[in-house]
Amino acid sequence: MTPFVTLHVWRVPRRAVPRALARMALDRSRLRATPGVRFAKLLGTGTGDGFGPTDADPTRYAALVVWSGADAAAGFATTPVARAWERLATGQVRIDLRPLASRGRWSGAEPFGDPPRDPAEGPVLALTRARLRPRRAVTFWRAVPPVAAAVAAAPGVLARFGIGEAPIGWQGTVSVWRNTADLVEFAYRHPEHRAAILRTPTEGWYTEDLFARFAVLGVIGDRKVVGWSDGGERGRA
């Protein structure tokens, strides 16, 4: 059965950053222990323009959760973890997702299984994450800015930001696209991104990596928390 996935993002005021960092330490195990949760990651976020401490956004946090079904996910708002983050947040958004494709591993697991490659209408979300090899980190960081700039200007991109399990070395990206065609056009035909893909096997940047694509089933809350642009007209004249 295809899992049901939710992405929760919270914006907190600067005065609440110490409490948010404490919650990051306390809530990882509590989130994984929530009934109906198959896989979960509590994440920091960044601008997506680069990786490392200078790109981190200490006022925004996220949780990616794989559920046994939509009914289990519906109860998240009443859990201690969700309530704690809601008390801290000045804005929050939840994005409901259905896996369309997944390749690779995350913490040794294949959290999204082997989803059927059904066509998706409407917005799609792409998620990448990787664990960097320390000796290859510098060359990876140098390769990021041109690709990040290309994503920011790409036609059809609705939102983008960085994610990370740690400030250095455990990082990824989330991007939301107007439709599958726009995502595919960028991923496989944009020269900067294609060059980065071709370099990956030879550079040996990662000890573990994952790429997944999802249909966006619904968006609940304040889209500005993830910088959502409904027009998706970035990069157009």
Q: What pLDDT shows up at residue 140?
A: 57
Q: Tell me: pLDDT of 32 over 70.
A: yes
Q: Tell me: pLDDT of 223 over 50.
A: yes
pLDDT average, residue stretch 211-237 = 80
Residue 137: band (very low, low, confident or very high) from pLDDT cuts 50, 70, 90:
low
Sorted by sequence, the CB contacts under 8 Å of residue 89 that are 6+ apart come out as 10, 11, 12
Exposed/middle/buried for 82, CB within 10 Å: 0-12, 13-18, 19+? buried
Q: Which two tokens stand for residue 172?
A: 């990824």
Q: What pLDDT shows up at residue 48?
A: 66
Residue percentage of the chain with pLDDT more than 70: 74
Q: Tell me: pLDDT of 138 over 60.
A: no
pLDDT average, residue stretch 155-167 = 84
Q: Which two tokens stand for residue 139?
A: 């060359």
pLDDT average, residue stretch 113-135 = 81
Residue percentage of the chain with pLDDT more than 90: 54
Instruction: Give the chain's mean pLDDT.
Output: 83
Structural domains present in the chain:
4-226 (3.30.70.100)
Task: Identify which of 77-91, 194-208, 221-235 has the greatest average pLDDT.
Answer: 77-91
Q: Tell me: pLDDT of 21 over 60.
A: yes
* 47-104 per-position pLDDT tens digit: 766 555 567 899 999 999 999 999 999 999 999 999 999 999 999 999 999 999 999 9
Which residues are bridge partners to 220 per DSSP?
94
CA-based torsion, 205, 208, 213, 219: positive or negative: negative
CB 88 within 8 A of CB 12: yes
Amino acid at 21: L
CB 26 within 8 A of CB 34: no
